Structure 1
Amino acid sequence: MANLSKKHDRALQELQAQQREVRASVGKEHRELASALQAELEDEYKALKAQHAKEMAALLKVQSVADQLEADNKVSNNLLYEMLPKYVADDLKMGRKSEPRDFDCVTILYSDIVQFTNLTSQSTSSQIVNLLNRLYTAFDTILDDYSDVYKTETIGDAYQIVGGLDGQSGANVPAPITSGSDGGSDAGSDAGTSSHSARLAAREVVECAIRFMDAVFNLDMSDQVKKELQIRIGVHSGPAVGGVAGSLMPKFALFGDTVNIAGQMEQKSQPTRIHVSETTYNLVKGGDYEFQPAGEVTLEGGLKMRSFWLMGWSKTNGAKAAGESSGRNSSAQRLSSAKAKRKVKLAQ
């Protein structure tokens, strides 16, 4: 019995020793597997983190390129809208053909430099280029203040702008008084009524004319042969047809009697003066500007039309611009009080 008990105790001890060895071996194997799995997971995490970093860098690069493209597109759109009427620019952007369009009433301004041929004969090419660059840059800067006034032509010293291309809403033009008409200067407004858009376009172009003349008075002429520059301006309002000519370098152009009459108003103007047709006068008269009668002018074909000299801002314009907030895009409201009150002397 005692021997049996000893054998049982010895077998139990051996079994316990074997179990301890097995547990130690299994524990060691488990730790090794856990360590290997942890290392594998860490490597995978590092790889995923590196991949995520690359993808984020690529995404940021794509976003940066997209932002740059959007900024460039915005600049291109702004430049396009400055060069072409909005409806034409939108057609071209969408790949559509821009069809010719009839305009009930636009206001066209022509300006040119007095004795420009004589000036070019006395100046170097660099002087002429610098002069025109300064002059046209000053004019372009003024146009930036108006949403519906566009530069449509610059040929040599000739500068043409038009207002009313985007704001058309069925404008009827006051009929100008010709030599066969009866009544005073107000009869033109009785012949028809003009819409708000036509009046606004005419006012903006007239304000551009005043500011153009003011810009010329203050133009830097330090590097020029002559120390002062003189321009003459003509303005007329009426119906016209506009459209894009060409596809390689699309150019917007206006056609019709209104264009020709505006050019004749400029040709029959005088140095440092703004010559306005009666049609335009009827659209803008009412207190903001000072006019003087210029008499009748004979147009091509023998037609006679009364015209006016635009002398500048009226005496009450400064107070009116400071006291009212009509919401329209008017330079009179953006000028300082001192400048708005000061009448620009366009004729001596």
Structure 2
Amino acid sequence: MLRVTGRHFCQLLREMDNLHSQMRFGFPKMRSPSMVVTEYDRSGAVLLYRSCRHGLSHYLMGQLLQIAKDFYNLTLNVEVVKEESQDLTYCTTFKLDFDNAGFVKEMQEQCASFHRPYLSDFTLGKLFMFFPFGLVLDPDLRVRLAGERILQLLGKDLLGSEFLEHFTIQRPHIRFSWDAIKVFQSVTWEVQSTKLPERSTRSNSLDTVSETPLRRGSSQAPWSSQQSSLTSFRGLLLKGQMYILKENNIALFLCMPLLNNLVEMRETGLFLNDLAMHDLSREMVLKGWDHCSRLQILYEQQEKCSERLEDAHVRRQKAKARGDDLLYSMLPRQVADNLRQGKGAEATCQTFNEVSVLFAEVCLAAGSDTLGAMDLMKTVNDIYKLLDHATDQYSVFKVETVGGVYMVVGGAPEYQPDHCAQVAALALHMLMEVVEAHIHNLRIGIHVGPVAAGVVGLKMPRYCLFGDTVNTASRMQTNGKAGRIQVSERCVPVLERFQFSTSFRGKMQIKGKGEMNTYWLEGRDPSAPSLATPKPSINTNTTTTITTPDNDHHDDDDDDDHDDNTTQPNGDTDGPEHVVDAVEKREEDEGKEEEEGEGKEEEEGEGKEEDENKEKEEEEKEVKEEEKE
């Protein structure tokens, strides 16, 4: 760009401000410096450099030296004449020594060509036919003459008034004066009217076009409303060149309106016929309209793309949440997070001095083999839904389900000081859930002791427990009864501290352990604080009941007839109560209903027989009467 900016080095310096002015459209936030050639002769020039940044003058000196050497093959000498600060602007005056004879000769030839009598009388009136927005200023900076179009827009009051009463200087950033016009003749000027054009009101009243440009559907490009609001308040923006006629001691401002699109042109009260044909004003307006239309289409496309990205992000978050829920249901959160961080399975292995292990099994009767596979799976699945709902309300972790066996641990992998109470409360809650769903075949066992735990497997990692405690808890369950909770002797002291009630079952022969004292978990004092965290209940629509096996292999327990009051595991009832009583009471109610049904059937049968006898007697009477007749 610098190679084609000026034929001579001095021309390059004079065009730098104009070059920065064009670059600001591509870099709207750029705070460009200003460089103006105030004097020039055959041996060099004087350059005025102004910038809002301090300390860049030496950087500019290096650039000028290199440009003069590489592009113009000149030897340049730079000298700082003066440095000062004005209104937060740092000004530096440079004396540039270089061979400037070519530029001076060209300028002298241009001045000589102006005096050639090609045209006889070319008045300012004829000049304003080509520049209908032009202005003529005197040394007092008053407007003496103006073009036809700008007078139509701003009114006749413009003539004879001071220039700064109607306009503000946008570029260059200087104090407006006659001397400044002399210095900045080679720089592009931009001025803005301080009031709205008069024709804009009339054109808006006659125009029925919508105030919102390029609206499609419900979407609107953000720049459309912004441009509309800006043009509504900024007035008319003129861009051109200030040129002094020394013979007449006046300054010409040859300019044209700066418009971005048809909307701005309409808001300023202009029409296409008001714009000159020899410049690019019309092309800029029409291209700006076409550019806005293209931007509107691109904006709508990007808006749809953003909506798709937002939807994809929401779906991704939901999928991630589902994946996390599934992962945390298979592995403890702490263990899963360690694996996510790249830690090996060995890092998850731990030993625990004391945890509580619970086994619960759905006892399938011998007749369940005749059930269909789908019915059996549905029933077991419904039971597991109830157990999962109960498990979620306590500080425990569901280890696994194998067949009809449901395994839970408390106190691992995160230690809980009340792990035994949490597991016991969960067991009572499980029984309550299944009883309410008309299921009476759940058998539960609990034991407390040390275990080793960790993740096993790579393809399908599982959190597993190892140790004799797991085996003993499993034996407590397999040697228990349906609808009962059997606990080991080691659990009893801990449970009593948390106001649980237990009853001694007796000495049981446990496989691999010999004789062990076992206990039934009966309930908990309702005045004790709840251990559960209430969550919304679920509807499983469970109606299928699997009959409890008749051939229970533990018939030697006849000491289960206790007068204890029953209680629900969360302590919401009026008094402690035996959990099995609820099951037995439900069975007694069903038996009474069956007996009542049988009695009703017998009564109905007897009633039918009496009716039949009456009918026979009536028929016999009718026959006898017919015989008599």
Q: Once the two structures are superposed, what CA deviation does each residue of 1:214-262 show, in whole Å capped at 9, x if it has no partner?
A: 1221225xxxxxxx53221100111111122222222221111000000
The correspondence for 1:139, drawn from 387, 395, 403, is 387
Give aligned-pair identity as a percent. Answer: 23
TM-aligned CA deviation for residue 209 of structure 1 = 0.7
Distance 2:428 2:532 in 1: 15
* Pairing partner for 2:402 from 152, 155, 164: 155
- Give secondary structure in 1 for the equivalent of 2:497: coil
Residue 332 (structure 2) pairs with residue 121 (structure 1): no
Q: 1:31 and 2:280 equivalent?
A: no
- 1-side partners of 2:324 and 2:572: how far apart? 33
Greater shift after overlay, 84-93 or 255-264?
A: 84-93
Distance 1:78 1:142, change over 3 A: same
Q: Which runs of 5+ in 2 are unaligned?
A: 1-119, 133-272, 538-567, 582-629
Which of the numbers 569, 578, 587 marks the counterpart of 1:345? 578
Give the Å deviation of 1:344.
5.0
1:284 pairs with one of 495, 505, 523: 495
1:321 partner SS = coil
Shift of 1:287: 5.1
Task: State the alpha-carbon separation in 2 of the partners of residues 149 and 264 from structure 1.
Answer: 20
Q: CA deviation at 1:26?
A: 4.0
Q: How much has 1:302 moved relative to structure 2?
A: 4.4
1:127-160: CA deviations, max 9, x gaps? Answer: 21111011001101111212x3222222222111
| Structure 2 match to 1:110 | 359
Distance change (3 Å), C-alpha of 1:243 and 1:98: same
Corresponding residue number in structure 2 for 1:203: 421
Q: 2:431 maps to what in 1?
A: 213
Q: Distance in 1 between matches of 2:449 and 2:577?
A: 27
Hey, what's the Cα distance between the residues in 1 that align with 2:455 and 2:356? 18
1:87 is aligned to 2:334: yes
- How has the CA–CA distance of structure 1 residues 130 and 106 changed in structure 2, closer, same or farther, with 3 Å as cutoff? same
**Match of residue 239 from structure 1:** 450
Q: 1:230 to 1:294 in 2, by over 3 A?
A: same
Report the TM-score, using the length of structure 1 for normalisation: 0.73
Provide closer, same or farther for how the CA distance between residues 290 and 216 of structure 1 changes in structure 2, counting only shifts above 3 A. Answer: same
Give the residue type in structure 2 aligned to 1:320: A
The one of 462, 473, 491 aligned to 1:262: 473
CA deviation vs aligned residue, 1:47-83 (integer Å, no higher than 9, x gap): 3343333334323332332232122212221222122
The one-letter code sitting in structure 2 at the alignment partner of 1:135 is I
**Contact 2:523/2:577 (CA < 8 Å) preserved in 1?**
yes
Q: Structure 2 residue aligned with 1:321, among 504, 507, 529?
A: 529
8 Å CA contact 1:288, 1:313 repeated in 2: yes
Pairwise CA RMSD of aligned residues? 3.0
What SS does structure 2 have at the residue aligned with 1:339? coil
Please say if residues 447 and 490 of structure 2, whose CA atoms lie closer than 8 Å, have aligned partners that are also in contact. yes
Match of 2:486 in 1: 275
Amino acid at match of 1:78: D
In structure 2, the CA distance between the partners of 1:45 and 1:204, relative to structure 1 (3 Å rule), is: same
> Which residue is equivalent to 1:7?
none
Rounded Cα–Cα distance in structure 1 between residues aligned with 2:402 and 2:369: 17
| One-letter identity of the residue aligned with 2:580 | A
More helix by share: 1
1:296-339 per-position Cα deviation (integer Å, ceiling 9, x unaligned): 3343444443322101222xx2x3338xxxxx65569x989983
Q: Structure 1 residues 269 and 336 mapped into 2: Cα distance closer, same or farther (>3 Å)?
A: closer
Give the Å deviation of 1:269: 1.2
Distance 1:338 1:234 in 2: 21
In structure 2, the CA distance between the partners of 1:298 and 1:209, relative to structure 1 (3 Å rule), is: same
In structure 1, distance between residues paired with 2:469 and 2:315: 43
User: How far, CA to CA, are the matches of 1:229 and 1:25 in structure 2?
Assistant: 104
